[in-house]
Structure 1
Amino acid sequence: MTAPYDPNDREKVVAKLPGELRKELKVRAAELGKDIQDAVTEGVEAWRRAKDSPAVDTGGGTSFATYLPAGLYDKLKKDCKSRGLPYNQGIAQSIRLWLDNHPSPRPQPARSTGARRIIVGNQKGGVGKTSVSAGTAQALAESGHRTLLIDFDPQCHLTKQLGQPLLDIEAPSLAKHMLGEARGSLKDLLVPIKGGDFEDHLWLLPGCKDAFLLDAKLATSRTVRIKETALEKALEELEQDFHYILIDCPPSLGYSMDTALYYCRTRDGEDADTSGIVIPVLAEDSSADAYDMLYEQVQDLTEDMDIDIAMLGFVVNMYDSRKGFVATSSLEEWQKFGEPPVLAVMPELKDQREAVRVKQPLLVHAPYGDQSEIMRTIARRISA
């Protein structure tokens, strides 16, 4: 049946929904590879056709926003009025109906290779590696995946942006564990990230400024036999505790980046594109030059060590078509690339900058903004 409206023309809808219903919707949509707005649209259409739907407890509801095709929201409100229901109840029943009609797929068997390992990297600084790392991890955690976010950049922007203290320079850290200089377990360093619908599913391994010395120490250390494996050996104990491990990498082509690239390689018995690298870029020539350098590093490592490293895709970040031909033509070039694909185009908006300013996760500060929705798109595409 053809909908009597253009599905590309949408209007924002805000309702009050209980937290558990919101979480269930986000998890199910992620499991089925469905946009949340499309899931709600399908639910509303099904609810309008249904003769009767059971009531949903909306007590204690908090704000939930999505987009419905223009005209559908007015029809929903009219139906609610004719049935003597608040429109919040109509939305809640629609979502409940969609969930009931789209059961969760069977859980996948445990993977012997452990967590899926995603690194976010580019040799060029200022392209949004940290924001993409954090937002994607939040979106994965929001979808029910136990997710570990690692600050592997000695500048420690990720740790600071999430409002967490840096690890003390004399204390145990990821770098010290990689070099065999720390006792105890890395698990003791993990910090839960609170807030939003990802709470209890997202942890951070904070950064430490000692990572500035990592490249030099890896080059000279006698305790690290194969330098490329240092990160993998350090993180090995954590892998069975998480579904995803995301690493915010430094803008570097040194040994530390080699360890990260080796870590995200396709392991024996692992499906292609299960793990790999996400590459944030800008719509400008300097990003293309930086990608060329990263590509050469990847090729050298794969040839030297006889491994495969999946390039999962580009995120064209901070895009603004008002910048004119340079931006628009550059975006076209990224989109023509083919492999790796463009996972998403992130517009230049204020939500991320505001979230950084107030030291909050993006999906807490602006959970229904365009940037948050794009982070969910990235998470859905890399987890497919």
Structure 2
Amino acid sequence: MASKLPPALQQELKIRCAELGLDIQDAATTAIINWRSGSSPVPEVDTTGARSFSTWLPTGLYDDFKGTCTERDLSFIQGLAQSIRAWLEDNPSPKQVGLPTAPRRIIVCNQKGGVGKTTISAGIAEAHAETAGIGAKCLQNFVGALTETELERLNRTREQLLAVIADYMAGGQRVLLVDYDPQLHLSNQLGIPPIAVGEDSLVTHMTGDPKGDIRDLVVTIDDPRFAGRLHVLPGTREGFLLDSKLALTAAQSRGFQKESALERALHPLEADYDVIVIDSPPSLGLSMDAGLYYGRRRPNEKVGRSGVLIPVQSEDSSADAYEMLVDQIGDLEADLHLEIDRLGIVVNLFDSRRGYIATSSLEEWHNVEDQNVIAVVDDLKEQRESVRLKRPLLSYVPESKQANVMRLIVAGAGK
């Protein structure tokens, strides 16, 4: 058999065979046989930069393999890459069994602007990074003090909420907060200078034109509550051109997969973090596809560990935007044969003084099929004050209602 494989996949195959005491020839044979016999759709593998790969196969298997690729309308390189990737997933490293293979990835998204994506992104990142133990105690006290009206808004009993937070494990984690929105709200709210247009940024790394190490772009939040664990990748206004840049790069570079651009850019950072939170742009374009793809469930990853968190408001235009986002997620799942977990809906900026408009809309959010409202964030002054002061909410008012709701979001996401 003579074909090609991406260098990283070749290396992973060699290491896994060495760890398991297997011959590459036997592994490749098993991989191709299993792949040919499988009937379920297999996610496409990024084969950018594929290099020569050859091994011996039993007589006739290579011809059978090529025939299957033709039937499935795949290149031989893609078919081999899918075979090897599936075999690696079925034969995990002894060193990694039972351990997560990547940081938790939370994509905070909604194509409607002004629903509070930045507020939620920053809040849950802070909740993951604050000193371990402090958040759990604050959260238990908060849930214990909720009024019956507040419990009704959440459509849960106090006992149900206490059960959700009983295994609250956030706190003390290394967190990367990514300003993926060219409007730069996140960077500005935290007092971090955005990256100038034309400089090295997330955009240049996504479009294959990096000018340096992406690690050099990361900024640490200097606050004792987070003890150096909370980091930010600042945004750039060049992100307004990201969709067109991704399309152009794909047109000029054969094998460039637009959807995996964010994952390729952030991959060098993943080993340094337990959680990565993406503050997404209000968009349904290619950049959003890349964000959704980054939050997909990876092989051997627990259901609900990573995925999309959707802030909304209790009014009709949010519902329309939500449906558009759900359609985009469904299309991406179908097109690329992947799964993107929904971590929940957060109803933000809730104000009961709006009467029937707010309460009826909240009821409709609770009735959304196959989705949970995991938190309702009231429209309170503390968040606006923290933004004005350019301080993290959980540092400015750590025991406030809004700070505890951020912890509740983390406790309930994916449950």
Q: Same fold (TM over 0.5)?
A: yes
Within a 5 Å distance, the mapping from 1:1-384 to structure 2 comes to 111-142=99-130, 143-221=171-249, 222-223=252-253, 225-382=256-413
Question: How much does 1:183 deviate?
Answer: 2.8
Q: Following the alignment from structure 1 to structure 2, what is the Cα–Cα distance between the partners of residues 325 and 109?
A: 52
Q: Secondary structure at the match of 2:114?
A: coil
Q: Paired residue for 2:67?
A: none
Q: Secondary structure at the match of 1:372?
A: helix
Give 1:294's aligned amino acid.
Answer: L
Q: Secondary structure at the match of 2:391?
A: coil
Q: Structure 1 residues 196 and 366 mapped into 2: Cα distance closer, same or farther (>3 Å)?
A: farther
TM-score w.r.t. length of structure 1: 0.70
Q: 8 Å contact 1:139–1:198 — kept in the other structure?
A: no
Q: Following the alignment from structure 1 to structure 2, what is the Cα–Cα distance between the partners of residues 110 and 383?
A: 19
Question: How much does 1:199 deviate?
Answer: 2.7
Residues 335-344 or 158-167, more deviating: 335-344
What are the Cα deviations for residues 304-358 of structure 1, in whole angstroms up to 9, with x where unaligned?
Answer: 0000001110000000111010100000111122522111000010001111111
Give 2:129's aligned amino acid.
Answer: A
Structure 1 runs not aligned, ≥5 long: 1-107
How many residue pairs get matched? 277
Q: Following the alignment from structure 1 to structure 2, what is the Cα–Cα distance between the partners of residues 341 and 194?
A: 35
Question: How much does 1:153 deviate?
Answer: 0.2
Give 1:236's aligned amino acid.
Answer: H
Q: Following the alignment from structure 2 to structure 1, what is the Cα–Cα distance between the partners of residues 116 and 375?
A: 13
Question: How much does 1:220 deviate?
Answer: 1.5
Q: Secondary structure at the match of 2:375?
A: strand
Q: Following the alignment from structure 1 to structure 2, what is the Cα–Cα distance between the partners of residues 299 and 196?
A: 41
Give 1:353's aligned amino acid.
Answer: R
Q: Following the alignment from structure 1 to structure 2, what is the Cα–Cα distance between the partners of residues 185 and 269?
A: 29
Q: Secondary structure at the match of 1:153?
A: coil
Q: 8 Å contact 2:184–2:194 — kept in the other structure?
A: yes
Q: Secondary structure at the match of 1:241?
A: coil
Question: How much does 1:383 deviate?
Answer: 7.5
TM-score w.r.t. length of structure 2: 0.65
Moved over 6 A (4+): none
Q: 8 Å contact 1:191–1:204 — kept in the other structure?
A: yes
Structure 2 runs not aligned, ≥5 long: 1-95, 131-170
Q: Secondary structure at the match of 1:197?
A: coil
Q: Secondary structure at the match of 1:124?
A: coil
Q: 8 Å contact 1:196–1:363 — kept in the other structure?
A: no
Aligned identity (percent) is: 51
